[in-house]
Chains A and B, each alone.
Chain A
Amino acid sequence: MIHLDNVTKQYDLPSGRVGEIVATDRLTLDVPTGEVFGLVGPNGAGKTTTLKMICGLQAPTSGRVTVNGLDVQKEPERAQGHMGYLADFFSLYDDLKVWEYLDYFAHAYKMDPAVIPSRVDEVIRLMNLESKRDELISGLSRGMKQRLGIGRAIIHDPPLLVLDEPAAGLDPKARVELKELLKSLHAGGKTIFITSHILADLEEICTSIAIMEKGRLLRIGKLEDVMQEGQSVRHFRIKLVPEGFALADWLATRPGVSETFAEAAGARFSFAHGDAELAALVRELVAAGAAVCAIEQITETLERLYSRVSSGEVM
C-alpha cells in the first residue's frame, strides 16, 4: 500500500542556527495492504515529516513515495484519493455544522453526489455523532471533534488511513473509544499508518511496527517479530524478604544468568536456560539462605522494547 524508497527530507535549522535538519535519512519502508502500521519515536524523530510526505504535503528532498502504486509527487490528487489523513492537532471549521463538514469533504474528495447524503449519515452514525448532526462543530467536546476528524478521514472510504497522534489529548474514555474505532476500521479492511506516543495503545492495535529515531528506522517488522527480538533470554525478577542477602552478586556467578540489576528488595536478571534450570537455580538460592518471597517473569512490552532499543541496550 505504502512504499518509501530511500526518502530523505532535509532542511535548514530554524532560528538562524548553523546546520541542517535531517528529518528522514534515506528511509525505505513498505506497508502492505491490511496492516495497522505503528511508527514510534521521540519528538523530532521524523514521524510527522514521514506522514506528511506520504500524504504529499511535503516534498522529499530526494527519494520516492508511492501509495497504492501512485507516485505521490507526480500524481498527488489521484494518490490522495486513496488516503484519509488526520493531523496531530485539532483543526476543524468551528462555524460549520457536523453534517456540513463531512459533506464538504465528501465533495472535495469528488464522491458521487448521489451517494454523499447517505455516506455522510453513515459516517455520522459510525462516529456515534447522530445527536450532534445539526450542531455547530464549535459545540463539540474534544473527543467528539477527534471522532469527527476521523470521520472526515474516512468519508470517501479510502483504503489507507494516515493518522498522526490521534489519541493525543483525549481522556481515557475517548481513547478506549478511539481504539475500538480503529480496530473496527481495520477489521473493515483499512490499512492504517499511525503514530502515537501511547505505546500501550499501539501494542494493542498494531500488526506491524517501526521504531524511528533521528530520521532513521531502528526496528521494523511484524509486531510479534519485533517484540521477539532479543528474546533468546527471558527476564525475571526475584523478591526477597529484606535481610541483607546480596542477591545480584550471587546471581551473577550462576550459569545462564546475565544482565543482573540489584533492586530494593531483590534483583532482576536475564536467564538463558529452560524451566528445569530455573527451578534448580531457585532451589540453590533457597539453600544459600535467601528468603525468597516471589519470582516473576518480566514480559516484554512495546514500551520496554522501545526504551531498550532507544537507549542502545538492544542493538
Chain B
Amino acid sequence: MKLLFDNPELIRNARIQLRPGRMIAAAVICAVVSITVWISIVRTGSEIVIDGMTQAGAVFALILTLQIAILLIAGGIFCLQSVHREKEMNTFDYQRVTRLTSLELAIGKLFGAPILAYVLVLCLMPVALTGAVVAKLAAQDVIMAYVLVLLGCVAFHALMLLVSVLLGRSGIAVSMLLFLMLVAASSTDFAELQSPWAIHRLNPFYVLDLFSHHLFVWGPQASISFQDSFWGVSVPHTAVLVVLYATFTAWFLAAVARNMKRDPSAYEILPAPGMFLFVMYVNFLMLSFLSWKTAPEGEETVPALLVLSLWSLWLLAFVLLRNRGKVRGRSRKLLGQAASWWAALWPAPYLALGAAIVGGTTVVLTAYHREPGSYWSWHMAAYYVAFLIVWLSRDALYLQWMALRRAKHPLGSAVVYLAIFYVCTSVVFVAFDIYENARGAAFTAAFIPSAFFVLNDRLWGPAMRVWMMPLFLQAAAAFAFAWLHKQRLAEFITEPEGRVSSADIAQSA
C-alpha cells in the first residue's frame, strides 16, 4: 500500500492534475452530465424503456458506459502520454536519477497519469449508484462490475504505459490509433461469433453484458452469468477476466519496471526467458479457450491453429532480435564467444523451442478432439510442426543478420525485403499454377510457408518424401543465414572500420 499511497510520483501527478480549478470544472461537468442523463431518461421518459425501474437501470447503464469509456480510453491515452511527454519535456532523466525504484515510478505513473479520469468516474458515481439502487440491482453485481472495470482498465493502462516507455519521440498518434483498435477488437464477443474461441468480451465494457444484453432493456433480475469454456469446462467469465486482467497487468508492469530506468538504447521488453514464458502463456490461453466444436475441421485443424499462434511467435522473434548496440556491448564482454556458432543461431533456439511446444500441444489436442473417422496422419501433423520450426528459424535468422547492417532502419528494411520476397514468389507460383500437383506444391514450400495453406491428404499421401525437400532447403537457408550472422558478429570483435567521433558529426552537422 505504501507503494501506492506514499508514492511521490503519484502525488506529483495528483498535484498537477487535481488543482482546485480543474476539480471544480470536473465536478460541474459531471453534475451537468448526470442531471441531463437523469432528466432525459427518467423525467421525460424514453420510448425504449418501459417503467420507472427500467428507466433507472438505463441511467445506471448509460453512466456506467460513460465511466468505462472515460477510465479506459481517456485513462489509456493519459498513460500512453505519461512517459512519452516526460521524454519530450526532458524531465524524464531527472526522474531516472532519483532513488525511486523502477517499480515505484511505474506504479506512480500507472495510477497517477489517469488520476483525472478516476476523479471523473468518482464524480459520476452518485448518479450511477442512485440509478442502481432505484433499479434494485443486486449490490454484489454492482460491486463486481466496478471491480472488473477497475482491474480491466488497470491492465489496459499498464499496456499503454509500456508502450509509452518504449516509444521514441514519435509514434504517439499511431499508438493511440492502435490502442483504440485494440479496445474495439477486445469488445468482440468470441463466444457468440462462432469463432474458434469460447470466450466472451475481454475489455471492461463486458460488465454491461453482466446486467443485460441490451443497454436499455433492463430489469433487476436480468443479471446473466456468462460462461467460458476452459479446456472444455464451463467457468464464469467474470472469474476468467479477473485472472486475465491480473496476470496481464503483472506481465506489463514487469516489462515497464524493467525498462523504466534503463538506457533507452538498451530497451528490452522482457529478458529472453521472460518473453518466452509470456508467449507460452498467451498460447496456453489461446488453446485453453479453444472451442473444438467451431475449430476448423479435419486435416485443416493443425495448420489453422498454428497460423493462429503465429503472431505470438513472431512477437517473440522480434523482441529477441538484437540490435547493433546490444551486440556491441555483448561482444565487448564476451570477446571470442560473441561470435561463436551458438551466438550465431540467436534467436532460433527460443523460437524453435516455442514452436515445438505450441505445435506439439496443438497436434496432441487435435488428435484427441478430432471427429471419429476423419482423416488423420501423425506424420503430416508432425510435418506441420517441423515446418513451422524451420520456417520461423530461417526468417528469424535472416532478420537477425540483416538487423546488424549499418543502415538507417536495418530491421525495417529487412522486413520490407522479406515481404517483397513473399509477394513476388507467390505471384510467380500462382502464375505458373504450380500448387496443383504434389511436387510443385512441395517446391513452393521451400520458399514460402505454403505448406500451411496447400498441404492436404491428397498432396501428402503420394509425395510424402518429396515434402521433405523443402524442410531440408529451409534448414539449409537457415544455416546459411546463421553463418552470415556469425561473420557479422565477428566484425564487432575486431576494431570497427569507418569509426568516427561525435565531434566529427557535430562539425559536419
Q: Which residues of A contact B (CB under 8 A)?
A: 8, 10-16, 18-23, 25, 41-46, 49, 52, 55-59, 61-62, 76-78, 80-81, 83, 85, 87, 89, 91-93, 95-96, 100, 104-105, 107-110, 152, 213-215
Contacts and interface: CB of A to CB of B under 8 A. Distances in A.
Given A25-B501, A42-B506, A44-B504, 5 more contacts: A16-B407, A19-B500, A108-B95, A109-B98, A215-B502
B369 interface: no
Nearest to A14: B505
B265 A96 contact: no
Interface stretch (B5-13, B460-468, B476-484): B5-13
B406 A22 contact: no
8 contacts: A44-B502, A57-B93, A61-B332, A62-B332, A81-B99, A91-B90, A104-B15, A105-B98
A214 B501 contact: yes
B419 interface: no
A95 B15 CA distance: 9
Nearest to A55: B97
A92 B92 CA distance: 10
A295 B462 CA distance: 105
Interface in B461-509: 496, 498-507
B16 interface: yes
Given A108-B8, A108-B98, A92 B91 contact: yes
Nearest to A59: B263
Chain B binding surface, main DSSP class: helix
B263 A57 contact: yes
Interface in B5-35: 8-9, 11-12, 15-16, 19
A45 B503 contact: yes
Contact of B15 (A8, A89, A96, A110): A96
A56 B12 contact: no
Contacts, number: 143
A307 to B, nearest CB: 15
B293 interface: no
Nearest to A90: B90
A313 B202 CA distance: 71
A64 B499 CA distance: 22
Contact of A93 (B16, B324, B332, B333): B16
B505 A58 contact: no
Contacts of A46: 501-503
A18 B505 contact: no
B101 interface: yes
Interface of B: 8-9, 11-12, 15-16, 19, 89-91, 93-101, 261-263, 265-266, 324-325, 328-329, 332-333, 406-409, 496, 498-507
B502 A49 contact: yes
B503 A42 contact: yes
Contacts of B332: 8, 61-62
Contact of A44 (B265, B499, B503): B503
Contacts of B325: 11-12, 61
Contact of A80 (B9, B97, B262): B97
A19 B499 contact: yes
The 8 closest A-B pairs by CB, nearest first: A44-B506, A16-B408, A214-B501, A108-B98, A91-B90, A107-B8, A62-B332, A44-B502
A92 B8 CA distance: 16
B11 A104 contact: yes
Given A12-B325, A87-B90, A91-B94, A45 B99 contact: no
A80 B98 CA distance: 6
B94 A12 contact: no
Nearest to B408: A16
Contact of B265 (A11, A85, A89, A108): A11
Given A57-B96, A80-B99, A21 B501 contact: yes
A110 B501 contact: no
A83 to B, nearest CB: 7
A76 B406 contact: no
Contacts of A110: 99-100
Contacts of B496: 10, 20
A55 B95 CA distance: 12
Contacts of A93: 12, 16, 91
A22 B94 contact: no
Nearest to B413: A16
B11 A214 contact: no
A108 B100 contact: yes
Nearest to B9: A108
Given A44-B507, A105-B98, A89 B90 contact: yes
A220 to B, nearest CB: 17
A92 B89 CA distance: 8
Contact of B498 (A20, A58, A104): A20
B403 to A, nearest CB: 12
Contacts of A61: 325, 328-329, 332
Most buried by B among A25, A89, A107: A107
Contacts of B504: 44, 214
B501 A22 contact: yes
Nearest to A48: B502
A174 to B, nearest CB: 20
Contact of A77 (B99, B266, B333, B409): B99
A273 to B, nearest CB: 38
A27 B502 CA distance: 14
Nearest to B91: A91
A92 B407 CA distance: 36
Contacts of B93: 52, 55, 57, 85, 87, 91
A50 to B, nearest CB: 11
Contacts of B329: 59, 61-62
Contacts of B94: 85, 87, 91, 105, 152
A96 B265 CA distance: 30
Given A108-B95, A108-B99, A22 B90 contact: no
